[in-house]
Amino acid sequence: MSQQLADRINEVLMGMVIEIKVPAERRIFLTVSADNLLDVIRKLRDDFGFYHLSTISGVDTVKNFEILYHFANSQCCITVRVVIHRENPEIISICELIPGAILYEREIQDLLGITVKNIPDPRPLLLPDDWPAGNCPLRKDWSYQAPEEKIPGEKK
């Protein structure tokens, strides 16, 4: 059944699909380019009823960044994958189509350092206000070094 749905999605999205996979029943993985993201999501929402965005996952693959939009309806859970460059990590906001995406977009901005264009509310979500710029905890090349603990007045 999911295979049929995947075939129909492939047909409707005509040429915008880079790759479509059905690894299991009720799971579809779809890869599209960043330029087509809004069109793809609009089509998925209006033609296939994928209104519910479960979450957005950002993955650092060392070479690139992958952003995965997990949508669900009552039949299937579809993951839309977008690959973006590591040098200039930018993605367009989908809040105009899915208003519920705002917290997830703020989260990937914080933790992966990806700029989300047109985001209605660009404030940090999880990191503190005085967090040093350029520190993106979920990037693979970031590691945490706990500062040496010093107790004032202790023996040398």
Q: Which of 11, 15, 23, 156 binds other proteins (CB under 8 A)?
A: 23
Stretch that binds other proteins, among 10-18, 24-32, 35-43, 82-90 (CB under 8 A): 24-32
Question: In whole angstroms, what is the distance from residue 68 CA to residue 21 CA?
Answer: 14
Of positions 53, 67, 82, 94, contacts other proteins by CB under 8 A: 53
Q: Would you count residue 86 as binding other proteins (CB under 8 A)?
A: no
Which residues from 87-126 bind other proteins, rule CB under 8 A? 98-104, 111, 124-126
Q: Shortest gap between Cβ of 74 and other proteins (angstroms)? A: 4
Q: Does 48 bind other proteins (CB under 8 A)?
A: no
CB-CB contact of 37 with 97 (8 Å): no
Does 152 bind other proteins (CB under 8 A)? Our answer is no
CA angle 39, 83, 134 (to 5 degrees): 115
Q: Which C-beta is closer to other proteins: that of 6 or that of 101?
A: 101
CB burial of residue 25 (10 Å; 0-12, 13-18, 19+)? exposed
Residue 109 token pair: 């901005």
Q: Which stretch binds other proteins (CB under 8 A): 3-11, 30-38, 67-75, 84-92?
A: 67-75
Length of the chain: 156
**What is the spatial distance between Cα 25 and Cα 22, in angstroms, rounded to a whole number?**
7
CA 51 distance to own-chain centroid: 16
53 alpha-carbon distance from chain centroid: 11
Nearer to other proteins, 10 or 57 (CB): 57
Alpha carbon 141 to its chain centroid, in Å, reads 19
Residues of this chain that bind other proteins (CB under 8 A): 23-24, 26-27, 29, 51-55, 57-60, 68, 70, 72-75, 77, 79, 98-104, 111, 124-128, 137-138, 144
